[in-house]
Amino acid sequence: MKYLIIPLCKFIQFVLVKLGRGTSYPGKLALKLDKNILKKIDKPKTTICITGTTGKTSICGILSEIYKHANIKVGNNLKGANLKRGIVTLFLENCTLTGKMKADVLVIEVDERYVKEIFKDFTPTYFIINNLSRDQLARNGHFDLVWQEINNAITDDIHLILNADDPMIAKFAIKHKGKVSYYGMAKNSLSVKSHNEFLDIMYCPICHKKLIFDYFHYGNLGNYHCPNNDFKRPKVEHESYYNDDFSFTIDKQKIKMNNEAIYNVYNLSASYVTALEDGIDKKIIVEALNNLSLKVKRLDTFKLGNAQGVLLLSKNETPMSYNQSLNYISKQKEDKTVIIGFDRVSGRYDLKDLSWLYDINFELLNNDSVKRIICVGPFAHDIALRLKYANIDPEIMMTYDSSSNVIDIIKEKTIGQAYCMFYFDIFYRVKDYIHKEVK
């Protein structure tokens, strides 16, 4: 049966690509014809799966660049098709008409809720778990439920690559009998003793005593230990050291970053450690990381009229994503305007629930350098209300019920540097406009 399904779906895939429609439909059709088709396609020598609330796409892209730099044939689902049909489409892209794998390595971004489905069909060589936090409540429920699903899918023959700074991630290793490697970041100038962000895990998974944090980088990431010594941040063999010049050091090697956003250290470190464990020469890895052609998905600079600024993709229903953007904004010293907005609460469902806004540390905008805050879109007044609870001065706030004229708002209302925190709907509309202007 696979000898009919694979050629048919690959032909449809070829036609869609020619039409400029790179969709996951071939994978969807293949699964409809045979729900076990993924088991029947050959697997490459190395498969790397990546999951987490944030950073999946970035790590997928960075790792792919490393393997390309090492002249290793690699496939990936960088287009973000990280559900089962998208992953089947990825395998179809990289196999022959008979299902024989052409790529040496597949780097696969996996939606955290679909890990349990994907791992039924194949066992990855490496599994990177970057972070887990509250996200898309209507779909995911509590993050502990997501953790349990992932943990139940992990087998001992998988080499785990874990973020040591996130206690929610470190506890995946407690009962894992297979190999585990960690990445993490040492205390640095941006680390703090305490902060106002809401923690997603605060208790020891062994004795349930409240964890003690020596410092935080952001969110629930930092150095922690249980008062009973039952659980603590694991030792990191390849520790990263953040520098104050848009770089970090790992294994005495300096890695440049595209910007100073600290989450980049984790994405790059995860990629470095995984490639190193897979036998890629350290020199090649460092060269690749220091010459990345990959565009930073979450951070884009722009110029619109007299306004200059940064686009920050901030994912709705994911407080960690917003807090990363706010942390970045708060560290910029110049006068600034912050523009926040979205047209839809969810990309999947017709939701109106905005309770997640109250898990975001908007208090970081209580800063003298913030001269104006503009809320745009149909939920502008809801955002403004949350800002009021954060004790933001109402005099510096403006609201617009529609995002249709967001370009003009940025051009005409910006004081100082513009920092635009947008969900996918507005983010890509503005980004596309900017690219057309540049051309």
What is the CATH number for 385? 3.90.190
Domain-located, residue 207: yes
What pLDDT is recorded for position 275?
98
Domain-located, residue 122: yes
Domain-located, residue 233: yes
User: Which of 231, 257, 289 lies at the terminal end of a domain, its last residue?
Assistant: 289
Same domain, 261 and 318: no
Q: How far apart are CA 150 and CA 146, in angstroms?
A: 6
Q: Can you read off the two tokens belonging to residue 343?
A: 């047209």
User: Which of 261, 289, 317 lies at the terminal end of a domain, its last residue?
Assistant: 289
How do residues 371-385 score in pLDDT, each as one tens digit?
Answer: 999 999 999 999 999
Region at 374 (left for phi over 0; alpha for psi -120 to 50; beta for the rest): beta
Domain-located, residue 213: yes
Count of CA atoms in the C-beta half-sphere (13 A) of 147: 19
Torsions phi, psi of 101, nearest 5?
Answer: -75, 130
Q: What is the dihedral of CA 64, 108, 431, 343, to 10 degrees?
A: -170
What pLDDT is recorded for position 216?
92
Alpha carbon of residue 326 to chain centroid: 16
Same domain, 263 and 347: no
Task: Please tell me what DSSP assigns to residue 178.
Answer: S
Same domain, 338 and 417: yes
- CB burial of 281-309 (b: ≥16 within 10 Å; e: otherwise) equals eeebbbebbeebebebebbbebebeebeb
Torsions phi, psi of 260, nearest 5?
Answer: -90, 5
Amino acid at 288: A
What pLDDT is recorded for position 348?
73
Closest among 285, 171, 304 to 234, alpha carbons compared: 171
Closest among 387, 360, 393, 357 to 375, alpha carbons compared: 387
Task: Say whether 428 sits in a helix, a strand or coil.
Answer: helix
User: Which of 257, 289, 321 lies at the terminal end of a domain, its last residue?
Assistant: 289
Residues pairing with 372 in the sheet: 337
Q: Which sign does the torsion angle of CA 69, 251, 52, 191 carry?
A: negative
Concatenated DSSP letters of 308-339: EEEEEE--TT-HHHHHHHHHHHHT--S-EEEE
In CATH, what number is assigned to the domain containing residue 277?
Answer: 3.40.1190.10
Domain-located, residue 45: yes
Domain-located, residue 222: yes
Same domain, 181 and 277: yes
Same domain, 224 and 182: yes
Same domain, 277 and 381: no
What are the residue ranges of helices labelled H in 213-262? none
Region at 99 (left for phi over 0; alpha for psi -120 to 50; beta for the rest): left
Q: How far apart are CA 306 and CA 414, in angstroms?
A: 9
Same domain, 228 and 276: yes
Same domain, 208 and 251: yes
Same domain, 239 and 349: no
- Is residue 92 within 8 A of residue 85, CB to CB? The reply is no
Angle, to 10 degrees, between the axis of helix 84-93 and the axis of helix 25-33?
100
What pLDDT is recorded for position 262?
86
What pLDDT is recorded for position 200?
67
Q: Can you read off the two tokens belonging to residue 291?
A: 């010459």
Task: Say whether 30 sits in a helix, a strand or coil.
Answer: helix
Same domain, 178 and 320: no
The number of beta carbons lying within 10 Å of the beta carbon of residue 81 is 19
What pLDDT is recorded for position 298?
47
Same domain, 137 and 41: yes
Per-residue pLDDT of the chain (439 residues; tens, 9 = 90+): 676 888 888 888 888 776 777 678 888 899 999 999 999 999 999 999 999 988 898 999 999 999 999 999 999 997 768 889 899 999 999 999 888 999 999 999 999 989 999 999 999 999 999 998 766 665 656 777 889 999 999 999 999 999 999 999 999 999 999 999 999 999 998 888 887 665 667 889 999 999 999 999 988 899 999 999 999 999 999 999 999 888 999 999 999 987 777 889 999 999 999 999 999 999 999 999 999 855 444 458 888 989 999 999 998 888 888 988 998 898 888 999 999 999 999 877 788 889 899 989 999 999 999 999 999 999 999 999 999 999 999 999 999 999 999 999 999 999 999 999 999 999 989 988 887 765 4
Q: How far apart are CA 172 and CA 182, in angstroms?
A: 11
Place of tokens 């940025």: 410
Name the residue range of residue 404's domain. Answer: 299-438
Q: What is the pTM of this model?
A: 0.85
Same domain, 125 and 100: yes
- Is residue 344 within 8 A of residue 317, CB to CB? The reply is no
- If you count them, how many residues does the chain have? 439
Domain-located, residue 294: no
Q: Can you read off the two tokens belonging to residue 274?
A: 């995984």
Please state the domain count of the chain: 2
Most distant pair of Cα atoms in the chain: their distance: 67
Q: How far apart are CA 66 and CA 72, in angstroms?
A: 9
Q: Which sign does the torsion angle of CA 44, 48, 50, 55 carry?
A: negative
Q: Can you read off the two tokens belonging to residue 392?
A: 């933001």
Domain-located, residue 76: yes
